[in-house]
Homo-oligomer: A and B are copies of this chain.
Amino acid sequence: MTNKQDSDAYKQKRKFFDKLLTIYGRKPVQEALQQPGIEIHRLHLADSNKPAAVLDEIICIAERQGAEICYHSKQALSRISKNAKQDQGIAVDLILHGYQQADAFLQNLPRQFELIALDGITNPQNLGMIIRSVAASGIAGLLLPTKGGAQIDPLVIKASAGALFRCPIIRCDNLHDTLSQLKAKGAQICALSSHATTSVKDFNPQGAAIYVMGNETHGVSDDIAKLCNQHLKIPMSNGVESLNVAVTASLLAFRSQI
């Protein structure tokens, strides 16, 4: 094999693995596999699992799909699930076509698009609700950093009411870097803040816009706020200071449709 072929094969492989999402826990895995059109790459089981009806059902679905089924020691399984406490001896790699890495998204930027970006959202209920609303809204996607916030876990999957498997999600390792790259390509980076002076109603972007939601208590972090070229507020009455972050994200995602 030449170096060129080698590199192409690597890229193909990388592209494939970038579409994988690993989830764990018996109920979350069972419910995921019951979703219409779900694709399984590999099912991982701990060889210490005792027989259980839920496992039989999961194995049956995986076999029907022709998915690979791998048995591991409990310890090896927890390295796959990355959550020994909650994996319950099971994990599954799903192929999600709406799931991609930021560099892939950056390489094929649409001319006009909207994203919701999360900067340190820590509550799994909020993350799940945001995923549900972004998926339903039809905007280009959710920009979700791999660090510094809630990650996709059973609580998030539950709060998303299955929408996780249908949501366009763009993963990035470093939110600041990815937003900088998007800004360099002409996207408006908009921090949502109750202290902003411009109302979202007066902001009608031509081209691309990324709406950054900050942490539930502290808001958008300083370094991200500095990067933003827009600071937007949702107008509020009755002296209320802020909205739930999942509500704010939903208002932004849906505003052109309601």
Residues of A within 8 A of B (CB): 36, 98, 125, 129, 132-133, 135-138, 161, 163, 166-168, 199-201, 234-240, 242-244, 246-247, 250-252, 254-255, 257-258
**What is the CA–CA distance of A180 and B3 in the complex, to the nearest angstrom?**
76
Most B CB within 10 A of own CB, among A129, A201, A247 = A247
User: Could you list 11 A-B pairs, sorted by A, with CB under 8 Å?
Assistant: A129-B247, A132-B247, A163-B238, A166-B239, A166-B240, A168-B238, A201-B258, A234-B257, A246-B247, A251-B254, A255-B258
**What is the CA–CA distance of A80 and B36 in the complex, to the nearest angstrom?**
50
Q: State whether A133 and B247 are in contact (beta carbons under 8 Å apart), knowing that A200-B258, A255-B258, A258-B255 are contacts in the complex.
A: yes
Q: State whether A240 and B129 are in contact (beta carbons under 8 Å apart), knowing that A200-B258, A250-B247 are contacts in the complex.
A: no
Query: How many copies of the shown chain assemble into the complex?
Result: 2
Most B CB within 10 A of own CB, among A167, A238, A246 = A238
A36 (CB) vs chain B CBs: closest residue: B239
A239 (CB) vs chain B CBs: closest residue: B166
Q: State whether A166 and B238 are in contact (beta carbons under 8 Å apart), knowing that A244-B129, A247-B247 are contacts in the complex.
A: yes
The 3 closest A-B pairs by CB, nearest first: A138-B237, A136-B240, A166-B238
Q: Is the CB of A132 within 8 A of B258?
A: no
Q: Is the CB of A238 within 8 A of B132?
A: no
